[in-house]
Chains A and B, each alone.
Chain A
């Protein structure tokens, strides 16, 4: 079963715009991670935020975590055509087992 739910399921924007994806989950977590997947490929780890952190940055990525609302958001600033991919949130509760959401499919049009 999938704990996380991403919103929106699909997002289409123009190059240069910001993209925001949201993730909600159901149970308490140790950390939340975001992964990226290009079509037909494996997943690539983007960023990890721990349950005691509220915000984290990595390059053009900004992740927030609100444990009281059991939600997280991923912001990609100044998007590029190469950012076109599916983005998944994954929660880790115990034993380093990740539970993935259904993903947001992002298309960045040049």
Chain B
């Protein structure tokens, strides 16, 4: 069985603060894919990043960065210098190598106050 845990239900920060979202996953597969999606108040799911299990290289994209550590089964996401537009629900998701479906975590609601 596979499982994604996002222990933080809600995070509230003031603009320009950094915020890190935790994601811990469980899977017995050696090949798997991890994703982060953003769901703003308008409701759509916006793809942020995909990482496969063989690529532990961290990634930075603008104010977003991701830290993938297989040793701790974690795929954490950091928003640097947060902005009000970052306010959304963020989902971490896992897909087995030969599977079609994504298993989502419960999501973390981020509120950035001006």
Q: Decide whether A and B are members of one complex.
A: no
Interface residues of B (CB under 8 A from A): none
Interface residues of A (CB under 8 A from B): none
